C-alpha cells in the first residue's frame, strides 16, 4: 500500500507539472484549442504569424527580420519584454521591423514601471524599421493603398476598425532608410481605425518621423519623442497626411539635434481637396526645438490640411506657426478650420508667417503637455532622454 501511494502521488505530481507547462506554452491557444503554427524563437524572431495563431512574447527576443502579424493573427507582448533588432541582419540586407497587417491585432501590455521596449543592438538612429500598423479606416489616397515600407494593403471603409491596443511602449533607434523617398518611422499608422488604443508610447532617437499618420481615424494619448543624438539630423516629430482625422491628447516632442519640424502636416500632395480631409484635433502639446536645422518651424501646415490645436507650448524655434501660402488650400482654412488656441511662445524668433496671424490666440499660462517645456508627470518612469 505504501508503494502504491508513492506511485499514485508521483503520477499526480507529474500530471500537475505537465498541465502547468501546457498552460504557459505559447504554442497553444487555450481560448480556441488552436495549435499555433508560428514559433517565437527568442534568438531568431521573424516570419509571419498566420491567421488563428495567438502568439505571446514574454522575456527577451532578438528580432532578425520582418515580424508580420497576419490577417486573423494576434501578437501579445507582455510587460517588461525587450525586443532587440539585430545589426547583423541589417548588415546582411535583412531589415528587422514589426508590421501588423489588416485584420491582425497587436496587444502591447507594458506598464509605467515595466514598459515594453523595442530597441536595437546598435544604439544609433536608423538601426531598424520600427512598428508599422495597417488598418481598414478611410484614407484619401484611394479606396485602399499599399504601405510604403511593407507593401501591405491599408485603407477601406471601417473607421472603427481595431488593430489592438498599445500601452507603455518605447521604441529606440528606429528609422531605417531604404531610399530618399522610403524610410521607416518609429510608429507608422496606415489607415488605422478608432477602435485601436494607443497610449503611453515613446520614440527615442529615431532618424525619421517619430509618429506618422497616413489617413485613418485612430486616436492617441500620451505620446513622447526625444531626439538628442547629434550624429544624424532626423526628420519631423509628428507628421500626418492622407486624411487623418483622429483626436490626440498630451503630446511632448523635443529635439536638441538639427532635425526638422515639430509638426509637418498635409492632406494629399497630389490632390489637396481629396476627402476625407486631414483634420485632427490635438489638445495639450509641447514642441521643443534647438533654434536650428534646415526646417526650423514648430508647426508647418500645407497641401490642404486642417487642424485644431489647444493648449500649445512652442519653445526654441525659428518660426512657430507656418501655413503654406495660397494657392495652397490650407491658407483658406486659417481662422476657420485651422485654429490654434492658447498658444505660448518661448524663445521663438518669429511667432507665425504673415498669413497665419489670425489662426491663433496666445496664453502665457499655457502648460502644453502638462508641465510646459519640462518633463510631464505622466511621462515619469517609462521614458528616457529628458
Whose grid coordinates read 508599422?
Answer: 132
204 close to 172: Cβ distance less than 8 angstroms: yes
Q: How far apart (Å, rounded) are the C-alpha atoms in residues 252 and 148?
A: 26
Scan for cell 514642441, then name that residue. 287
Backbone angles phi and psi of 190, in degrees to 5: -100, 100
Instruction: Report the pLDDT value the prediction gives residue 181, as an integer from 0 to 100.
Output: 66
Give the model confidence (pLDDT) of 48-102 as tens digits. 999 999 999 999 999 999 999 999 999 999 999 999 999 998 888 899 999 999 9
Identify the H or E element spanning 213. strand 211-214
Distances (CA, A) of 7 to 11, 19, 20, 226: 6, 18, 20, 61
CB proximity list for 32: less than 8 A, separation 6 or greater: 52, 54
| DSSP track, 34-90 | -B------TTSEEEEEPTT-EEEE-SEEEEEEEEEE-TT-EEEEETT-EEEE-HHHH
Phi and psi dihedrals of 331, rounded to 5?
Answer: -60, -30
Contacts of residue 374, Cβ cutoff 8 Å, sequence gap at least 6: none
Phi, psi angle pair for 377, to nearest 5° = -60, -40
- Distance, in Å, from the CA atom of 105 to the CA atom of 52, rounded to the nearest integer, reads 11
C-alpha cell at 138: 478611410
Residue partners of 345: CB distance under 8 A and separation at least 6: 314, 320, 351, 362
Bridge partners for 177 per DSSP: 183
pTM, two decimals, is 0.91
* 162: confidence class by pLDDT, cuts 50, 70, 90: very high
Q: Which tens digit of pLDDT belongs to each residue from 219-264?
A: 999 999 999 887 776 788 999 999 999 999 999 999 988 878 999 9
pLDDT band at 135 (very low <50, low <70, confident <90, very high): very high
Amino acid at each position: 500500500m505504501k508503494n502504491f501511494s508513492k506511485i499514485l502521488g508521483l503520477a499526480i505530481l507529474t500530471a500537475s507539472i505537465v498541465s502547468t507547462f501546457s498552460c504557459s506554452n505559447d504554442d497553444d491557444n487555450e481560448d480556441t484549442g488552436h495549435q499555433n503554427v508560428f514559433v517565437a524563437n527568442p534568438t531568431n524572431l521573424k516570419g509571419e504569424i498566420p491567421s488563428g495563431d495567438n502568439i505571446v512574447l514574454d522575456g527577451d527576443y532578438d528580432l532578425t527580420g520582418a515580424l508580420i502579424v497576419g490577417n486573423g493573427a494576434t501578437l501579445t507582448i507582455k510587460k517588461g519584454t525587450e525586443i532587440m533588432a539585430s545589426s547583423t541582419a541589417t548588415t546582411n540586407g535583412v531589415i528587422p521591423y514589426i508590421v501588423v497587417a489588416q485584420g491582425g491585432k497587436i496587444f502591447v501590455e507594458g506598464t509605467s514601471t515595466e514598459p515594453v521596449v523595442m530597441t536595437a543592438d546598435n544604439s544609433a538612429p536608423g538601426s531598424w524599421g520600427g512598428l508599422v500598423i495597417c488598418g481598414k479606416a478611410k484614407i484619401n489616397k484611394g479606396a485602399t493603398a499599399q504601405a510604403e515600407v511593407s507593401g501591405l494593403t491599408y485603407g477601406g471603409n471601417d473607421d472603427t476598425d481595431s488593430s489592438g491596443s498599445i500601452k507603455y511602449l518605447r521604441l529606440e533607434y528606429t528609422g531605417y532608410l531604404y531610399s530618399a523617398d522610403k524610410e521607416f518611422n518609429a510608429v507608422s499608422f496606415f489607415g488605422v481605425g478608432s477602435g485601436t488604443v494607443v497610449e503611453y508610447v515613446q520614440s527615442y532617437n529615431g532618424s525619421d518621423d517619430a509618429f506618422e499618420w497616413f489617413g485613418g481615424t485612430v486616436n492617441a494619448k500620451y505620446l513622447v519623442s526625444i531626439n538628442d543624438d547629434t550624429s544624424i539630423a532626423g526628420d519631423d516629430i509628428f507628421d500626418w497626411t492622407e486624411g487623418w482625422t483622429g483626436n490626440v491628447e498630451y503630446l511632448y516632442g523635443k529635439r536638441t539635434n538639427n532635425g526638422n519640424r515639430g509638426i509637418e502636416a498635409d492632406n494629399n500632395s497630389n490632390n489637396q481637396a481629396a476627402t476625407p480631409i486631414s483634420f485632427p484635433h490635438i489638445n495639450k502639446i509641447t514642441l521643443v526645438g534647438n533654434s536650428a536645422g534646415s526646417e526650423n518651424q514648430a508647426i508647418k501646415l500645407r497641401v490642404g490640411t486642417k487642424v485644431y490645436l489647444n493648449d500649445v507650448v512652442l519653445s526654441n524655434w525659428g518660426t512657430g506657426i507656418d501655413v503654406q501660402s495660397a494657392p495652397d488650400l490650407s491658407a483658406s482654412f486659417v481662422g476657420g478650420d485651422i485654429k490654434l488656441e492658447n498658444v505660448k511662445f518661448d524663445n521663438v524668433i518669429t511667432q507665425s508667417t504673415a498669413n497665419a496671424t489670425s489662426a491663433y490666440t496666445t496664453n502665457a499660462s499655457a502648460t502644453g503637455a502638462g508641465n510646459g517645456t519640462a518633463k510631464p508627470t505622466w511621462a515619469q518612469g517609462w521614458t528616457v532622454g529628458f
